[in-house]
Amino acid sequence: MMAIRSILIACALLIGAALHAGPQPDELLDDPALEERARALSGDLRCLVCRNESIDDSGADLARDMRMVVRERLVEGDSDDEVLAYMVERYGEFVLLRPTTQGINMVLWVAAPTMFIVALGAALLYLRRRERASSAEIGAELSPDEQARLRDLMRD
């Protein structure tokens, strides 16, 4: 039974990527400030073999390697941006969970604010029209028949 069990566990570990795990105790840096930066950076980097997980959440071996690389770079004195640049150079833009603002990506970042301004503008225009109709108060005092007649007249 134990033998079967250990085989099963071994198999399970091979596909252990399904498990979320994150940094192991032996990975942590002694300097708390540096470690905090490492955690923050890990949250912004994608585990390449996982589905939509940051390396900070992933249990995959590759994620562990990537976490180690981040910590190595930090220990060697890289700034946060330098670490990210290093990771992009090594793994491609895909690794960044926070997309850059370069080139066409600018569209992604300005899409929402632009949409908000356009929507707000349209809403204000609509409200202004309603308000004008409101100050005229046409139709409010008319009976349904009169309103229907008015509509007919307006159509002509």
Partner 1 sequence: MFIELGHFALILAFAIALAQTLVPLVGAHMGWRRWMAAAEPMASTQFLLTAFSFAALTWAFVTSDFSVQLVVSNSHTAKPMIYKISGVWGNHEGSMLLWVLILTLFGACASWFGGNLPESLRARVLGVQSSIAAAFMAFTLFTSNPFARTANPPFDGRDLNPLLQDPGLALHPPFLYLGYVGLSLAFSFAVAALIEGRVDAAWGRWVRPWTLAAWVFLTIGIALGSWWAYYELGWGGFWFWDPVENASFMPWLFAAALLHSSIVVEKREALKSWTILLAILAFGFSLIGTFIVRSGLLTSVHAFAMDPDRGVFILYIMAFFMGGALTLFAVRAGAMEAKGVFSTVSRESALVLNNVLLAVSSFVVFVGTMWPLFAEMLFDRVLSVGPPFFNMAFSPFFVALAAILPIGAMLPWKRGDLRKTMRPLWPILVFSMAAGALVWAMQTGRSALGPVGVLLGLWVVLGSAADLWARTGRGAITNRLRRLTRLPRADWGKATAHAGLGVTVFAVAGLVGWEQEDIRVVQIGEAYSFGGYEITLRDVRDVEGPNYLSTMGFMDVERNGRLVSTLTPEKRIYPVAGMPTTEAGIKYRFLHDVYLVLGDPQQGGGWAVRSYIKPFANWLWAGCAIMALGGLLSLSDRRFRVAAGARRRRPEDGSEVAAQ
- DSSP for the chain? -HHHHHHHHHHHHHTGGGSB----GGG--SSHHHHHHHHHHHHTBB-TTSSS-BTTTB-SHHHHHHHHHHHHHHHTT--HHHHHHHHHHHH-GGGBSS---STTHHHHHHHHHHHHHHHHHHHHHHHHHHHHHHHHTTTTSS-HHHHHHHHHHHH-
Q: Does 68 bind partner 1 (CB under 8 A)?
A: no
| CB of residue 75 to partner 1, shortest distance in Å | 18
Q: Does 142 bind partner 1 (CB under 8 A)?
A: no
Q: Does 62 bind partner 1 (CB under 8 A)?
A: no
Among 85, 128, 146, 148, binds partner 1 (CB under 8 A): 128
Q: Which residues bind partner 1 (CB under 8 A)?
A: 5, 8-9, 11-13, 15-16, 18-26, 28, 43-44, 46, 51-54, 57, 92-99, 103-105, 108-109, 111-112, 115-116, 119-120, 123, 126-128, 130-131, 133-134, 137, 139-140
